[in-house]
Structure 1
Amino acid sequence: MQYVLLRVPVSLIRSQHDSITKLWFAKTNTTLQEDYRKWYSHHLGRDIEMLVYGNWGYPVLLFPTSMGHYYEYKDFGLTDTARWFVETGKVKLYCIDSIDRDSWYAKHLHPGTRIWNHVLYDRFLHEELVPGIQRECSVQKIGVSGASFGGYHALNFAFRHPEQVGHLLTMGAAFNIRSFLGDYYDDNVFYNNPPDFLPNAQNDEFYRMNIVMGTSQYDFCKDANYQMSGILSRKGIPHKLDVTPWGNHDWPVWKDQFPRYLSMI
């Protein structure tokens, strides 16, 4: 719900005062304008769907939470917390679908197949989706963000492809995916598990990235954020670890954090 300021001539009420105007508020219940997109991805071998908010502004790619879909942030009201940034042209939001059900959460598949499906998703992002966003917005780098498991996707992509990312904003994220795969381990696991590959990774672009990691007082992922902050600190990578002094691993915290983090872009 928002309020729109209307200027109404008092002449509609009192004709003898044509030149006087009066201000009051009228209630509206407008929906944030969205652009639905669906296309076939050759990298994934399937259709992929996305919601886009805004006509211009700095692009921010949003990854959904565990097994979430492109409409999740709309359904839970997170995109509406960014209304001012979108409608004033500060940011343009891209809410992409995930394939978690065929990768990390596909318990019926061999772990090697699961991690390979994620590799294909990473290629889709790196070679198809993000270059398209870069062209559409005429930028060299984009922002990436996500809550919970979406934060893993955002951070993993950012540090695998820092030449494409200027801003990294995570909320209630965990970053170690080893538990999804049991005892299985190969190079694909290593290079998609930030606590493993990041300590020895070297790239000057790491130090040019604006990094904000958010957690909260009772977030069960809080320790994971402190651990990741420790890795970044030991590498001398500038970042902000923001701990909201209330709330747990849930939407009210993320809806409070997201607009604050957008203001840091």
Structure 2
Amino acid sequence: MTPRDASDANDNPWSDLDRPPLNAEALRRGVLREGGFYRDLRVVPRTGSTNSDLVALAETGNADEGAVLVAEEQTAGRGRLDRQWTAPPRSGLFFSVLLRPADVPVSRWGWLPLLTGVAVATGLSRAAGVDTALKWPNDLLVTVGDEERKAGGILAERAGDDGVVVGVGINVTLRADELPVPQAGSLALAGAVSTDRDPLLRAMLRSLEEWYGRWRAAGGDPAASGLQETYAAGCATLGRVVRAELPGDRAITGEAVAIDGDGRLVIATKEGVQEPVGAGDIVHLRPA
């Protein structure tokens, strides 16, 4: 992969002293270890999408499971429903990891974005000292003032027949005047005790390794691995009245009551029906 060249001031990694560049060598020393899960870690100054790049590498046989690709800036980052994700250079953490869960039935691979959410939230709580919550299926929420704000997102994409790339984007030091939308937030705005991106990234990757190993050891069983219970405990969507905007211009409104064994959100409607939702856009209508 070759990130495109640019000549603006943002190409100088020290142009903003509050946003120093990641230390790639130190990250590799801290993450890559003999017998560990991670096999390779690359940091690039700029690219369109770490997910797209890593999927391409995986599909051409140029990346092994445990490969990590990190970008200081993404120019074409994507979330669910192809929504754009942009942020100033070095203001966040944008990375992707290649997983090949060959020993887990494909029917359970739908848990991978939820597993990544648990890992990210756990890692950030430890390293940044900020309370985080998960909005089903793939958003990371923080509290800014008394408002719930989205500070990050997760996108999982298939990479060939045997791989999944999970991508993570986290707003770390975005200031209020830099937010793409008023509903966005960042770790800094949420009062994080640390916004040093190197230890934050290491914490998230270690947490992902731990949860992925536990899930694989259980054959992908979300209950036996503790994933289903942990996700539900940290999910801000449960217990709230929500509107699920589904494919085909269909919508369901009701209380989010559970995460089922397939990772779907179960919504109890006023008609007394409990309907599982596997894909869709969820709008929180009322606090729990």
Q: Would you say same fold, with TM above 0.5? A: no
Larger-gyration structure (1/2): 1
Q: Give the TM-score taking structure 2 as reference length.
A: 0.29
